[in-house]
Amino acid sequence: MKHGCKIACGLIVIILSATSWAQQQPSDAVEVAPGFKLGANGAIEIGDISAEVGHFDGDWTVSEQHDVFKASAPNPPATQPSSHVVTGVFVSASGPFNLTDRMEAAGDGVHFSADMASDKPVETNELHMSFSLPVKSVGGKKAMIDGEPTLLPSEPAKQGEAQLISKDNVHKIEIPTATGTLIITGNLNMLLQDDREWNDDRFSLRLNFSPASGQIKESKIEFQMEWKPAESK
């Protein structure tokens, strides 16, 4: 994956936007399974972790779901009691495209998928799912990437060293927090970085759609998530 310019280009916009969104979490979220909520705008809530679709155009201008997504319905409709679908138009800087998010209870967690479709090619440097991880919840802990630890440092990374790990063909990501562990499984291309270089007290985890870049007319991402609450002491 090509992540260098992503860090250098457009990050301040991302941080300010993500901070504002985190401070104004949607109140219309529906609980799909214990620990997992889906909002009418397609945003996912997992405790104090939030996740949404993001898009970088050819100039690395960022568009984020909570800002630019226009949902077709005011609430996530249920095709079954444990299955919810959000459809609408994502208005990126490269132009609009249709976006469908699906979340359904599965096993001990949820299965999530998102499909992007457009009649015209959409110029894309990266299309991804972004997880916002507050430092207060994960700082000092170790994320496990296919069984290998990556430290989420308590102190900010050195200037220019915000990227903690970038890896393709990952099958399991474990993110420990103060209240439990988020486990993500699938066929994943991922980036984990420390956003404190841009004065935001969060780490960001990004999972790429497939395809993730180019002149895109169709793209998809899917993965499973499980939430394991911390054991009571």
**The predicted structure's pLDDT at residue 230:** 87
142 dihedral zone (left: phi>0; alpha: psi -120 to 50; beta): beta
For each successive 10 residues of the chain (233 residues), what is the average pLDDT? Answer: 48 44 57 91 93 96 93 70 88 96 94 97 98 96 98 91 96 95 98 93 97 98 95 69
Domain that holds residue 128: 4-196+214-229
**The predicted structure's pLDDT at residue 75:** 67
User: Rounded CA gap, 18 and 128, in Å?
Assistant: 15
Sign of CA dihedral 183, 203, 193, 36: positive
**The predicted structure's pLDDT at residue 233:** 60
**The predicted structure's pLDDT at residue 146:** 98
Q: Which residues of 188-220 are buried (b: 16+ CB within 10 A; e: fewer)?
A: bbbbbbbbbbbebebbbbbbbbeebbeebeebe
**The predicted structure's pLDDT at residue 81:** 63
Q: Is residue 160 part of a domain?
A: yes
The tally of domains found in the chain comes to: 1
Q: Is residue 60 part of a domain?
A: yes
CATH code, domain carrying 17: 2.70.98
Q: Is residue 206 part of a domain?
A: no
Q: Is residue 86 part of a domain?
A: yes
**The predicted structure's pLDDT at residue 206:** 97
**The predicted structure's pLDDT at residue 183:** 98
pTM: 0.86
Q: Is residue 208 part of a domain?
A: no
**The predicted structure's pLDDT at residue 159:** 87
Q: Is residue 117 part of a domain?
A: yes
